[in-house]
Copies of this chain bind each other. A is one copy, B any other.
Amino acid sequence: MLIGELAERAGTSTRALRYYEAHGLVRPQRSANGYRVYDEAELRVVREIRALLDVGFGLDDVRPFVACLRAGNASGDVCPDSVLVLRRKLAEVDDYLDRLGAVRQQLHTQLSHAIAHREESCPRKRQSDH
C-alpha cells in the first residue's frame, strides 16, 4: 500500500503521514523506486494516532500507544506507559473542565447583569430577548 491509499483509508493526508514519520511514529518500508510502502499493521497504527489526536492528544502523548501496538498488543491502551498517559490526560481534562465551568459561570452572570442593566436603562424596549 502506497502513501496515497493509506492516507485515504486512514482518513488523513499524505502530508500528515510524512509528518508522523518525520517524528518517528510511522516507519514504512521503501520500494525500489523510493516509494513508501505500508502494510496493514501501519494502517492500524495510523488509525490509533488519528483517534488519539482527535481526542486532543499531542504527538508525544501518542508514542506509547504506538509502541504498544508495535509490541504486538491488540490495543494500544494496555501497556503501562499508555495507562500513565491516559491517567494524566484524564486529570488534565478534569482540570480543564473545572476551569471551563468557572468561566461559563462567570460569562453567565456577566450576561445576566448586562441584560438586567439594559432592561433597567431602557425598560420600554423589552421586545425580543430570544
Contact = CB atoms under 8 A, between A and B. Distances in A.
A117 interface: yes
Main secondary structure of the interface of A (DSSP, over half): helix
Contact of A111 (B83, B97, B111, B113): B83
A18 interface: no
Contacts of A117: 75, 77-78
B100 A96 contact: yes
Contacts of A107: 55, 86, 89-90, 93
B86 A114 contact: yes
A9 interface: no
Contacts of A108: 90
Interface string A50-73: 000001100000000000000000
